[in-house]
Amino acid sequence: MINEERVMLMTRLSSYEANEGKKDIAITHYYRGDYIGFQVLKSVVAATISFFAVFGVYLFYNFETLMQDIYKMDLLSYGKNIAILYLCTAGGYGVISYVYFASRYNKARKNLKHYYDGLRRLSSMYDK
């Protein structure tokens, strides 16, 4: 005779395993620090590429003005301002990434804990 409770539990577990579980297992293969560090690093690289792409467009946009004022400008302070802006962008984005990926790691661990609890319950159903 089919054990309805067991079938329901198995369905729920296999559904999780096929969808969210895959990502959660991949995330929890890393140590917490490694995972968050890697994701923040990726975010900083993404922010760097985006910043320089936008900066390139800005340079083209102000091309004529820059060419006219290039000999009058204090290039050192201009460069310093750009560097500060870049650090703020990359730093801010890195902090947002840290918060987001830390919560994602915790959520993945919590979900997996429920999943393993379910597996244990399923195993005990077979033992009865």
Cα 45 to Cα 40, 42, 48, 73, 89, distances in angstroms? 9, 5, 5, 30, 11
Q: Does 46 bind other proteins (CB under 8 A)?
A: yes
d(CA 15, CA 20): 8
Query: How far apart are CB 64 and other proteins at their closest, in Å?
Result: 5
Cα 29-33-34 angle, rounded to 5 deg: 55
Residues 6+ apart with CB under 8 A from 38: 30
88 counts as binding other proteins under rule CB under 8 A:
no
We find the least distance from the C-beta atom of residue 78 to other proteins, in angstroms, to be 19
Interacting stretch for other proteins, rule CB under 8 A, among 2-10, 55-63, 79-87, 112-120? 55-63
Confirm or reject binding of residue 64 to other proteins (CB under 8 A): yes
Which residues are near other proteins by CB under 8 A?
Answer: 42-43, 46-47, 49-50, 53-54, 56-57, 60-61, 63-64, 93, 97, 100
